[in-house]
Structure 1
Amino acid sequence: MRWEKSDFWMNASPSEMIRFFRQIHEECFLKDWVEVFHKDDLLIDLVFEYLWLYRSESETRTLLNHTDFPPWLLLRFIYFGYGKQILQGHFDSNVYFAQVKSLIDSEQSLRILSLADDMDKDPTLKIHLLANLDAQTWESYFDILEQNDKTIQALVGIFMNLKEQEIRTILLNSPTLYIYLRLMLVSRKIIDDEVGDEKAKILRDILEGIREWELFATNLKDKFDLLTEREQIPKYRDSKRISMILYELIKVGEEDRAGIISYLKGSHVILDEWEDGIIRSTLVNYKQFGTFF
């Protein structure tokens, strides 16, 4: 087939590429495509250039999340993209892997996590993939742990390889992951003797700190009719909610604010990008002039 040849990838137009990515899963020859990849590493890198270039297109995302797109190949694509980021001078793996989460769904994240040996080598990526799981895939992941004779402590131990601020940032950006870890804490599945007293205390302190924002978000949900407000244009929403958020944010250090905003957005009390932008710009104004407006 034409797509098996390098000249197709070197000469195809953007519209041809998008059309190809759409057809490859609609016409069910994705398995054949992957089979060719087993034989030609150079072709893989050439194709990845286009997948990376068109990663924001819906056709590309559908392809990456197809059940016939194997996890080993997706993992290779993730590292390919990280290499591209480094070449552009962006070295923060947390920022990059957070972007990766938006490309792949929970099911595909679980399939990558099933590559246990590869995942054990990269705790940062592993945590970001865990943060991408929903309730159903979390249960499946616990089954994988049991099958591999691993315990909850092994899962918690992943975090102990990261700096405290990294852990806090990841959990603030991943409310679901925070909730699961907190449930383990409450149920005493996180045992100090097995994880280590000092390490367990660090994780507990981080979880307790985020717990305060969880309670704050719950309070906002009780005070305001967010379902109705979400359907309204911004000028008709209750401005008191944004004011409450701003007054709480100025009580914390600047280095923590971005993560907290992400948490509140993930908890659905910051309703959209417009509110996100207003809050961030108002905080900049507060820093410069000592007043919100």
Structure 2
Amino acid sequence: MEQKWTWSTTGYTFVGVAHDEIIESCRAAGLSGIEGAAELFPDENDAELDRLARRYRDAGLGIDSYHLPFKPDDDIVCFYETTRRAAVDTMILHMERAAALGARTVIQHPSTNRFSVDVERFDAYLSRLDRSLKALLPRAAALGLTIAIENMLPGADGPRVCSRPEHLSLIAERFADPNLGFCLDTGHALVAGGPDGAHEFFRAMKPMLRAFHLADNAGDRDSHLAPGRGLVDWDAVFAGMGEIGYARPACIETPPFAHRHDGLFSHDAWKALVDETQSLADRALR
């Protein structure tokens, strides 16, 4: 199979780092760009966002995806209508900022609460999601964005929203829309599904996969280890990406597996992260 995707990385690793240094690290590593986030672009106005986007483009880099906020109040399926509406307004604001940076995809946590869907009922969450998407999807279409809903970790008291493959299948059936897709988080899938069930998330999300968050762990917590440093089945992940012809940047959502000096990883550490991930993909695609 042919690899059609490139590698990007999460902007969260670079929060507080100057954009010139981010650009240098990405170029040294062979990354195609970064995934934006509110914390990485906290105060810029539209003109400043446009200038930053051009700086990245002039360096041969892009900000193809942008992670929407996910603080506790950013819950688009909240049962408190005032909170839900405010969360939708926050998402729209950041969708506009993402579009100004040149993003094509925004990553959306389906919920920020940690309650068990076995207690709260998944259908109740779906009704709130329906209300929110009725506001979000038209704005996404106008901005040229895809909203990619991410699979989630389980909670301490039971499954959370989108921590089971069937949750994603139901969303795909109920909310089919050209501006709606999924983001597969490999670390979340391993913790939620275990070694035998992690790939079920790929199968459920496959028809609508628009983004990937690549991270490893031991299956016990969301450690955000570099790919290959945990128990994720990377052969299955990368073979699946090849099978669907995925052709966008795939976000390595981890820092390098290396020491950080004065708040920065070395360019060699960044290059090693990309090279090691590429080796895993090469093996899977042979």
Structure with more relative contact order (C-alpha pairs < 8 Å, separation 6 or more): 2
Taking structure 1 as the reference length, the TM-score comes to 0.36
